[in-house]
Amino acid sequence: MDVTYLYRLLDEQGHLLYIGITNGPIYRLFQHLEEKPWAPQIKWQEVQQFNTREEALVAEKTAIECERPLYNIQFNTEEQAFNVREMYARHRQELFDVCRQYGIPKDASLSPGEARQLVRKITGQIYRFTYLDWQAWCQEDVTYVSTGRQFILDQFERFGVPKDASLSVSNARALARSMCGSVPNFSREDWDAWCSSNGKPVSNRVPT
């Protein structure tokens, strides 16, 4: 049994901010609090348990399509997804501006926590950003959206991750991390895209 949790994040007035699934809802909440530009809005987390990941995935898709959370991209309306992508793009550009202003050194070997501590130490302020945001700064590439699939596939290509569509997502993640070191969590769709890419980088950078 692969117990998986569907969670909802809400603001102080009870407005729905985000819906997701995870094996560790508390750990995932702290990730959002550290990374997301909208994290200060989070006031409540609601959690629902499912016996399998497959059941949780179906429930997640249905919930997003019916409830239309503010900050989800996948399964949301085209307009809402576009607005969220634009927000993340603006947030990344603001991070780049701060890094340039303060001369933040580019060190792609840093973990997300180490990178945030470095920025906080130099600027004296707290900035929320993801692993992919930091890697984009180190590469001076603002076109990677913070949840972009392309960066993940580029890492697989770089480290020669074998393509095995029969692997579960958890086993695929374990394989990728054993070969790449640090790699962001990726979805079933990300892994399937890699396995069907025939070694060619995906041309469009589509957030998932």
Whether residues 86 and 128 share a domain: the answer is: yes
Whether residues 134 and 153 share a domain: the answer is: no
Can you give the pLDDT at residue 193? 85
For 50, the 3-state DSSP assignment is strand
pLDDT by residue (tens digit) across 105-132? 999 889 889 999 999 999 999 899 988 8
Give domain status of residue 82, yes or no. Answer: yes
Residues ≥6 apart with Cβ < 8 Å to 166? none
Whether residues 83 and 135 share a domain: the answer is: yes
Whether residues 20 and 60 share a domain: the answer is: yes
Whether residues 15 and 46 share a domain: the answer is: yes
Whether residues 165 and 126 share a domain: the answer is: no
Can you give the pLDDT at residue 136? 85
What's the pTM value of the predicted model, to 2 decimals? 0.66
- Helix (H) or strand (E) run with residue 78 in it: helix 78-102
Give domain status of residue 206, yes or no. Answer: no
Q: State which of 104, 120, 139 marks the end of a domain.
A: 139
Q: State which of 67, 88, 108 marks the end of a domain.
A: 67
Q: State which of 67, 88, 115 marks the end of a domain.
A: 67
Angle at alpha carbon of residue 102, lines to 100 and 105, rounded to 5°: 70
* Closest by Cα among 197, 41, 48, 74 to 147: 74
Can you give the pLDDT at residue 66? 95
Domain extent, residue 135, equals 78-139
Give domain status of residue 122, yes or no. Answer: yes
Give domain status of residue 38, yes or no. Answer: yes
How many domains would you assign to the chain?
3
Give domain status of residue 144, yes or no. Answer: no
Whether residues 156 and 111 share a domain: the answer is: no
Which residue ranges of the chain lie beneath pLDDT 50? 144-147, 199-208
- Helix (H) or strand (E) run with residue 180 in it: helix 169-180
Give domain status of residue 203, yes or no. Answer: no
Whether residues 16 and 34 share a domain: the answer is: yes
Give domain status of residue 36, yes or no. Answer: yes
Give domain status of residue 208, yes or no. Answer: no
